[in-house]
Amino acid sequence: MAAPDRDEPLRGALIRVLSRRRNSLGVTAGPAAVWILLLLVAPLAFMTAVSFASFENFQVVWEPTLEHYRDLFVGGTTEYSLGPVGFRATAFEEAVMLSYAVATAATVLCLVLAFPLAYVMARLDDRTFKLVIYLVLLPFFTMYLVRAYSWFLLFGQSGVLNELLGALGVGPVGALEYGVLPVVVGLTHAYFPYMLVTLYASLDGLDFTLLEAARDLGASRVDVVRDHVVPLTLPGIIGGSIFVFIPSVGAFVTPQILGVGKVQMIGVLIENRAIGEATNPTTASAASMVVVVSVVAALFLVFRYVSLDELGGV
C-alpha cells in the first residue's frame, strides 16, 4: 500500500467490475477455460481430424480416409486362439492386448500390495503417520525416469539382483532379464503411491469401532472385510485402480527402458510412429484415438458409480 491514492481509481474500477457476478465468474473461470480449450480440446480434436486424413509423400493431406484405422486392425498375421475361437492379430492389436494385460497386472498388484499398508496407515497415530507418509511420498515425488532407471539397474542378466543371487550361488535367473516381468514391477512401483494415497483417503474416513463391533457380534474376519471394509472403501479402490490402470496402459518410459525393445506396448508403438523411425502422424493419431476412446469408455463406466469427488485428493 505504498501509494494508495494513485491506485485508487484503478482499484475502484476493478472492484466495480468484479462486483458483478458475471464478470467475476468470467475472471475466475475464464483463463483456465481458455487454456483447456486451446491446449487440450483443440489438440485432441485436431488429432482426431489427422487420424482420418490421408498421408502422401510424408505430408498430411486433408482427404478423409479410414485407411489408418483399417491398417491398425486388418491384415494381422500372428495367430491367437481364445479357446475355440482363433484370430490373427496385427502388431497394433498385439500391442493393445499386451498393454491391457500388463496394466491389469500392475493394477491388481498395486491394489493387493497397497491395501494392507493403507490400512495400517489409517490406524497409526499422528507422529508415526507423518513419518510413514514422508517415506511414501519421497519415492512418489522422485523422478519417474529415475525410478524406471533404478529398476533397470536391479533387473537384467547382469543386474544387481542377479549378481547378488550369483554371489549366493544361485545362478543368473532368466526371469529377471529385461522383459514383461520387470515392466510390470516397474509400473507397480511407479503408480503404487497413487493407489496407496487414494485408498488411504477412503480408509481414513472409516469408523474402525464399527469393524470391532461386527467382530464382537461374531462376524468372521473375512466377513468383516467383505461386508464392511470393501464396500466402504469401494470409491477408493475404483479411484486408485483408475489412477494406476490408465497411465499404465499408455506407459512409454517403463516398457522402453525395462523392456529393451522386446515389450511393444501401445505407448512405445505410438512414440515410434510420432517421432521414431517410422514417422507417420496419421497412424500415430489413429492409434492414439483408440487409446483415448478406450480410456474415455472406462472413465464413463466408472463415473456412473462414483463421482470425481470421492476419488480422493491425488
Partner 1 sequence: MSEVATETAEDTGERTDPGVASRLLGRARVDRLLRSGLYGFAGLMLLFLWLPLLVIVFLSFTESPAVVPFEGVTLDNYGGLAANTDLHASVRTSFTVATLSAVIATVLGVLASFALTRYRFRLRELYRTFGIVPMIVPGVILGVGLRFYFQTVGPGPSFLATVLTHSLYGLPFVLLIVTARLYTFDESLEEAARDLGADPLTTFRDVTFPVIAPAIGAGFLFAWVRSFEDFIRALFVSGISTTPLTQWMYGKITKASADNLLTLNAVSTLVVLGIAVALAIAMNVGNVTGYVAGTVGEKE
According to CB under 8 A, which residues from 156 to 215 bind partner 1?
158, 160, 163-164, 166-167, 189, 192-193, 197-198, 200-201, 204-205, 214
Q: Which is nearer to partner 1, 77 or 307 (CB)?
A: 307
Q: Which of 176, 195, 181, 194 is nearest to 105 (CA)?
A: 181
Q: Which is nearer to partner 1, 181 or 219 (CB)?
A: 219
Residues 20-79 that bind partner 1 (CB under 8 A): 21, 25, 27-33, 35-36, 39-44, 46-47, 50
CB of 296 to partner 1, least distance (A): 10
Cα atoms found within 13 Å of the Cα of residue 93, Cβ hemisphere only: 16
Q: Which is nearer to partner 1, 179 or 281 (CB)?
A: 281
**CA-based angle 174:260:138, to the nearest 5?**
90
Residues 97-156 that bind partner 1 (CB under 8 A): 113-114, 116-117, 119-121, 130, 132-139, 141-147, 149-154
Residue 85 CB-density burial (10 A; 0-12 exposed, 13-18 middle, 19+ buried): exposed
Q: Which is nearer to partner 1, 107 or 288 (CB)?
A: 288
CB of 189 to partner 1, least distance (A): 7
Q: Determine the size of the site formed for partner 1 (CB under 8 A).
A: 104
Contact region with partner 1 (CB under 8 A), list: 61-69, 79-87, 90-98, 285-293:
285-293
Q: Which is nearer to partner 1, 2 or 85 (CB)?
A: 2
Contact region with partner 1 (CB under 8 A), list: 15-23, 66-74, 75-83, 87-95:
15-23
292 scored as a contact of partner 1 (CB under 8 A): yes
Q: Which is nearer to partner 1, 75 or 171 (CB)?
A: 171
d(CA 289, CA 273): 14
229 scored as a contact of partner 1 (CB under 8 A): no
Give the number of other CB atoms < 10 A from CB of residue 96: 22
Cell 549366493, located at residue:
168
Give the number of other CB atoms < 10 A from CB of residue 197: 23
Q: Which is nearer to partner 1, 180 or 253 (CB)?
A: 253
235 scored as a contact of partner 1 (CB under 8 A): no
**CA-based angle 116:118:124, to the nearest 5?**
105
255 scored as a contact of partner 1 (CB under 8 A): no
Among 108, 181, 295, 306, binds partner 1 (CB under 8 A): 295
d(CA 121, CA 197): 10
Q: Give the three-state DSSP class for 82.
A: strand
Residues 261-280 that bind partner 1 (CB under 8 A): 266-267, 270-271, 274-275
Cell 510412429, located at residue:
273
Are residues 170 and 216 in contact, defined by beta-carbon separation less than 8 angstroms?
no
Helix and strand counts by DSSP (H, E) for the chain: 16, 4
284 scored as a contact of partner 1 (CB under 8 A): yes
Are residues 281 and 55 in contact, defined by beta-carbon separation less than 8 angstroms?
yes
CB of 15 to partner 1, least distance (A): 5
Q: Give the three-state DSSP class for 54.
A: strand
CB of 89 to partner 1, least distance (A): 21
DSSP 79: E
